[in-house]
Amino acid sequence: MSAAAATLIFLGYAALNGITFSVLLLAYTPGSLMGVFAITAGTFGIMSAVGYFTKQDLTSFGRIMVMGLVGVILASIVNFFMHSTTLYWLISYVAVAVFVGLIAYDTQKIKSYALLESAEDRKKGAIMGALALYLDFVNLFIYLLRLFGRRN
């Protein structure tokens, strides 16, 4: 995929998220939205710094987080049919842990993209890395909102 195509996909996804969020954000109080956003931003900043500054290779940790993400998706599909409150809360807590871990992993991965030889590969890596971190932030925000948000 070219850097231009990756950029278009990123912008399209961001626009789609904006539309989706406009509906979601109407369900929560402004105070809880601001509080959860602050928690998300702080967590994101700390975990991104961990991923950037750690000397340890997070590749195997990232694989575990991706497996956790697959588990969250599968459990969410199962719970869509089961309507279990307990599973809902368990999924929410596990998802927060998974996305917190993915933030550190994806940050370190972006750092490695800067070392690629080809300028085109560095551009693609930057765009794909930005999309990954964007998804991490958005999903962390949504799951924290499920845990701490107050509905209107």
CB 127 within 8 A of CB 11: no
pLDDT digits (tens, 9 = 90+) for 33-90: 999 999 999 999 999 999 999 999 999 999 999 999 999 999 999 999 999 999 999 9
Q: What is the identity of the amino acid at 112?
A: S
Closest CA to 48 of 96, 109, 95, 131: 109
Residue 144: CB atoms within 10 A of its CB come to 21
pLDDT digits (tens, 9 = 90+) for 11-41: 888 888 888 888 888 899 999 999 999 999 9
Q: Which residue has the tokens 């993209």?
A: 113
Q: Taking residues 88-95, report their average pLDDT.
A: 97
List the domain boundaries for the chain. 3-148
* DSSP characters over 82-135: H--HHHHHHHHHHHHHHHHHHHHHHHHHHHHHTT-S-HHHHHHHHHHHHHHHHH
Give, as one character, the DSSP assignment of residue 151.
B
Is pLDDT of 109 > 80? yes
Is pLDDT of 104 > 90? yes
Give, as one character, the DSSP assignment of residue 43.
H
Residue 64: CB atoms within 10 A of its CB come to 13
pTM for the full model?
0.88
Give, as one character, the DSSP assignment of residue 81.
H
| CA 55 from centre of chain | 22
In this structure, which long-range contacts are made by residues 14-22, counting pairs with CB atoms below 8 Å and at least 24 apart in sequence? 14/134, 17/138
